[in-house]
Amino acid sequence: MPLIGNRLGWLNSGLFWRTFFLLAFLIAASIMAWVASFRIVERTPRAQQMAAQVISIVTITRAALTHSAPDLRRELLFDLASNEGIRIYPLERSDVVEPPPDSGLMPVLESTVKGRLGQDTKFAGRVNDVGGFWVSFKIDDDQYWLRLDRERIEGVSSIQWLGLATTTLVLSLLGAVFISRLINLPLARITTATRRIAKGQTPDPLPEKGPAEIREANRSFNQMVADLARVESDRAVILAGISHDLRTPLARMQLEVEMAGLDDDARRGMQSDLSQMDEIIGQFLEFAKPSDKVQAASVDLTALMSECAHEAARLPDVRITSNIADNVNVFGNATDLRRVINNLIENARRYGKTPDSGETAIDIACKTQGNQAIVEIADSGPGVPESEIERLLRPFTRLDTARGQANGAGLGLAIVERIVKRHHGSLKLSNIPTGGLRIRISIPVTGTLG
């Protein structure tokens, strides 16, 4: 049963296929039921119609032979065979007779014909290895066979029924595809719009037309998008106020610390605290900065990363190893990409220190792979528990082991991920088997910024 469930699991992957197969099953079952019911209902009338045809042919043929001149009977038989497909043979005791094929029509047909032509009427499907529909009749004391082509008796064959049912089924399946697409189109539009919201983009308004349920859903979704845009705008205004209201007192406090008569340790401690507060405010403002008006151009990623590596190498507690390929270019915003690299280097410097030496060894690599620019930054620290890697990318998240030494708001990696997604790239975190954390960024070498 699990194997069957795995094989049929793809049916649950999309509402379109589920709707299509349910409609197809319903249509196919309806067609089969209709065909079966029709054949049952029309069996008796069709058998009686065929019997009336046989009775009429036998009666007219017998009358023609009875009343024709003896010297003209041979010519009459030839005309019946060539023009009407009716052949007359004498019935002999030595004839090898095979019964007609068994079908639901034969009992009714035989009963009706015998009721009119006599109970001694015989039927055969093959006489002396000659196929057809054979029926016997008498002229005086002589018995004869009358043979008709089977096509005149059988009517619609099973193959014809199958062809008709197949054609109807194919047309019905095409209709099911159209209906399924029509039903799932509004849901597909909402899904596409939702994905754009997840990427930080503003989707186009959904059409508020169609059935009442669709209109109400689209109207509610459009209202939600408008509310989110208003909340985003309000947040930008609030954070702009924070920049003005907090950074001015912070600057005044820094000036007062410099002028106050404090000993060196107290002054350095207070300056460090004020610097941390200023950095936290900066992270808030960077995380909330709108991204729809960022200018993009071709960026020399090789030169940009070389500059970042050179600046990081000047730090006293960092050892940089770089492997940066030449002529790596991407389409994006140079300021945002520089912020990404600096954030990752700073993150590695803070939390990737080697326990023995207290120094951070950072490996910086950049190369082109296919149509992607690959950036890797790795440290040799303790790494991150596997269960916490995904959580690290969430805003305002720091590991418990880093809280004591953290001087940020837990937005560094969230800001990096947002910028990378804006460049249509991907961000992946993984532990190094020998120790440390590796961050891999993949960005298209060409494209658009959005």
DSSP letter assigned to residue 320: E
Question: What rounded mean pLDDT belongs to the chain?
Answer: 77
pLDDT at 121: 86
The 3-state DSSP class for residue 447 equals coil
42-51, 290-299, 373-382, 394-403: least confident range: 394-403
Higher local confidence (pLDDT), 4 or 365? 365
Q: Is the pLDDT of residue 411 over 80?
A: no
Determine the Cα angle at 335 with ends 331 and 337, to 5°: 55
pLDDT 10s digits, 317-332: 888 888 989 888 888 8
The 3-state DSSP class for residue 142 equals strand
The pLDDT-based confidence of 376 (bands split at 50, 70, 90) is very high
pLDDT at 365: 92
Q: How far apart are CA 119 and CA 114, in angstroms?
A: 5
10-24, 190-204, 418-432: least confident range: 10-24
Q: How far apart are CA 62 and CA 66, in angstroms?
A: 6
Share of the chain above pLDDT 70, in %: 80
Q: How far apart are CA 277 and CA 74, in angstroms?
A: 122
pLDDT 10s digits, 174-192: 877 787 777 778 888 888 8
Q: Is the pLDDT of residue 1 over 50?
A: no
Q: Is the pLDDT of residue 10 over 50?
A: no
pLDDT 10s digits, 385-399: 887 777 777 665 565
Q: Is the pLDDT of residue 163 over 80?
A: no
Strand partners, 131: 126
SS (H, E, C) 334-351: HHHHHHHHHHHHHHHHHH
pLDDT at 157: 57
- In terms of average pLDDT, the best of 154-163, 363-372, 379-388, 406-415 is 363-372
Q: Is the pLDDT of residue 306 over 50?
A: yes
- In terms of average pLDDT, the best of 24-28, 40-44, 94-98, 261-265 is 94-98
CA end-to-end span of the chain:
46
The DSSP annotation for 401-423 comes to GGTTT--S-S-HHHHHHHHHHHT
13-17, 191-195, 263-267, 355-359: least confident range: 13-17
The pLDDT-based confidence of 170 (bands split at 50, 70, 90) is confident
Structure tokens, 95: 């004839």
Cα dihedral 294/296/299/301 (nearest 10):
40
Q: Is the pLDDT of residue 153 over 80?
A: no
Q: Is the pLDDT of residue 402 over 50?
A: no
pLDDT at 410: 55
Q: Is the pLDDT of residue 219 over 60?
A: yes
Instruction: Give the mean pLDDT of 86-103.
Output: 81
The pLDDT-based confidence of 53 (bands split at 50, 70, 90) is confident
Q: Is the pLDDT of residue 408 over 60?
A: no
Instruction: Give the mean pLDDT of 199-225.
Output: 83
Q: Is the pLDDT of residue 236 over 70?
A: no
Name residues whose C-beta falls within 8 Å of residue 368's C-beta, 6 or more positions apart in sequence. Answer: 325, 327, 328, 374, 445
pLDDT at 41: 64
- Angle between helices 301-313 and 334-351 in degrees, nearest 10: 30
Half-sphere exposure in the Cβ direction for 147 (13 Å, CA): 19
Distances (CA, A) of 156 to 113, 150, 402, 422: 21, 11, 83, 66
116-120, 138-142, 151-155, 437-441: least confident range: 151-155
Half-sphere exposure in the Cβ direction for 397 (13 Å, CA): 11
The pLDDT-based confidence of 168 (bands split at 50, 70, 90) is confident
- Angle between helices 212-259 and 158-198 in degrees, nearest 10: 20
Q: 146 and 113 in contact (C-beta within 8 Å)?
A: no
Q: How many CB atoms lie within 10 A of CB 401?
A: 13
